[in-house]
């Protein structure tokens, strides 16, 4: 009997379930905020962590540019959200940090209180990113 392949949602849930507290609770809270921001956001495990991407139609592009990915989590030693093309996002709220030449920007989260305090700015950044998708 063939083993049934898990969906992306199930893979992300299983990944988060294996995390230790408080990381598990923080990542789950971030996941819910990101997914609730737009129905056009989907999730998967990419680069060994939960990642969130635009699921709608998009103009053809070089796959090495990662234009579809909004946020890729980095959970090695800390909780960090990497915005691969964060340089194009309006950052007037000061949410995104770093000035990497490849255009990525970062958000580091340490506590559940951090999550609560950045929620409006995080959702605004995601909505701004979505408004700039080349469809």
Instruction: Provide mean pLDDT across the span 34-62.
Output: 91
| pLDDT at residue 56, rounded to an integer | 86
pLDDT (tens digit, 9 = 90+) per residue, 38-51?
999 999 999 999 99
Q: Is 77 left (phi over 0), alpha (psi -120 to 50) or beta?
A: left
pLDDT (tens digit, 9 = 90+) per residue, 87-112?
999 999 999 999 999 999 999 999 99
Q: Is 3 left (phi over 0), alpha (psi -120 to 50) or beta?
A: beta
Q: How far apart are CA 11 and CA 5, in angstroms?
A: 9
pLDDT (tens digit, 9 = 90+) per residue, 9-27?
999 999 999 999 999 999 9
pLDDT exceeds cutoff 60 at 1: no
Question: What does the domain layout of the chain look like in residue ranges?
Answer: 8-131
| pLDDT at residue 66, rounded to an integer | 62
| pLDDT at residue 105, rounded to an integer | 97
| pLDDT at residue 81, rounded to an integer | 98
Q: How far apart are CA 63 and CA 7, in angstroms?
A: 22
| pLDDT at residue 42, rounded to an integer | 97
Quickly count helices (H) and strands (E) in the chain.
Answer: 3, 5
Instruction: Provide mean pLDDT across the span 110-132.
Output: 96
CATH-assigned architecture of domain 8-131: Alpha-Beta Complex (3.90)
CA 75: distance to chain centroid?
12
């Amino acid at each position: 009997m063939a083993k049934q392949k898990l969906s992306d949602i199930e893979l992300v849930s299983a990944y988060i379930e294996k995390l230790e507290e408080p990381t598990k609770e923080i990542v789950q809270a971030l996941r819910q905020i990101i997914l609730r921001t737009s129905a056009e956001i989907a999730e998967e495990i990419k680069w060994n962590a939960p990642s969130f991407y635009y699921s709608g139609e998009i103009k053809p592009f070089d796959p090495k540019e990662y234009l579809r990915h909004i946020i890729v989590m980095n959970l090695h030693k800390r909780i960090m959200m990497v915005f691969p093309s964060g340089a194009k996002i309006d950052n007037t709220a000061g949410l995104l940090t770093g000035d990497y030449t490849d255009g990525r920007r970062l958000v580091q989260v340490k506590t559940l209180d951090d999550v609560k305090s950045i929620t409006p700015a995080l959702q605004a950044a995601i909505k701004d990113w979505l408004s700039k998708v080349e469809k």
